Amino acid sequence: MASGRSIWGGHPRLDRRRVGRCLRSAALFAEGAVAMALVLGREDAVGWAGAAAAVLRSAAELAEGP
């Protein structure tokens, strides 16, 4: 059971660190969208992408826990 896999062949348990990593990589993608929007001069998209990156980073910290 150390692998997080059920003994009855079910789906593996979600690992909090894996979820946090996934959310952090999505936040990094959103920060890249901020940079691209800045280059293209889309101030409205910069605000939305920046907010999305902040939300994803916060969700990653909550998912990983203490």
The string of pLDDT tens digits covering residues 3-31 is 656 666 666 667 888 889 999 999 999 99
Region for 5 from its dihedrals, namely left if φ exceeds 0, alpha if ψ lies in -120 to 50, beta otherwise: beta
Q: For residue 13, what are the contacts with CB-CB under 8 A and spacing of at least 6? A: 4, 5, 6
Are 50 and 24 in contact by the 8 Å Cβ rule? The answer is: no
What average pLDDT does the segment 42-65 reach?
91
Residue 15, pLDDT score: 81
